[in-house]
Amino acid sequence: MPPKVKTTKEVIVKTALDIVRRQGTAALNARTVASALGCSTQPIFSNFTTMDELRLAVAQQADALYQEYVRRETDSGEYPPYKAGGMAYIRFAKEEKELFKLLYMCDRSGEEIPTEAHSFTQMTDILRHNTGLNDDTANLFHLEMWAYVHGIATMFATGFLDLDWDLVSKMLTDAYLGLRKQYETEG
């Protein structure tokens, strides 16, 4: 008799991530994961105390995938680093709609999101370096740019519209230059 195959935590998370990718977060439950794995729910609850713990692991895996988008966009050298971050965010929303929704279009008010705080700081550091703006002004500048980028990304993620990448690039440049001119004039 062959030994039973052990369903690992990593396999469960990968399977759950694939379910969210294809069907959205509403489809993520112990039964759908077990069905996709071809097992009972027992291995899921042997590896995760609750479904919330599995959902968090899926969100962390989705964030790792998003960070890979940022790395690839930045490493390509097609855009300056600050703009590459915005383009990666929008590309992730276009190509990974359900994972984008999981990370950026749900109520996260009760969560502590350390990668977002780190990312915000990195982007404002780039702005300060590129523009010479002080901390408070660079933070506000980035917040305004991020709201604009998030709006475009949300339209992609929801299928509201599908723009040409050259137009998206132009839109980000126009917004950046407009805000830069405004804040440099004020400063």
Q: Tell me: the pLDDT tens digits for 46-80? A: 999 999 999 999 999 999 999 999 999 999 999 99
Query: Does the reported pTM lie above 0.85?
Result: yes
Scored b (16 or more CB within 10 A) or e, 27-48 reads: ebbbebbbeebeeeeebbeebb
Q: Answer yes or no: is pLDDT of 5 > 90.
A: no
Q: Answer yes or no: is pLDDT of 19 > 90.
A: yes
Q: Answer yes or no: is pLDDT of 115 > 80.
A: no
Tens-digit pLDDT profile for residues 30-54: 999 999 999 999 999 999 999 999 9
Q: Determine the distance from the C-alpha atom of residue 95 to the mean position of all C-alpha atoms in its chain, rounded to a whole number.
A: 11
Tell me which residue of 103, 27, 8 sits closest to 65, measured CA to CA. 103
User: What is the structure's pLDDT at 106?
Assistant: 85
Q: Determine the distance from the C-alpha atom of residue 119 to the mean position of all C-alpha atoms in its chain, rounded to a whole number.
A: 11
With bands split at pLDDT 50, 70 and 90, how would you rate the model's confidence at 173? very high
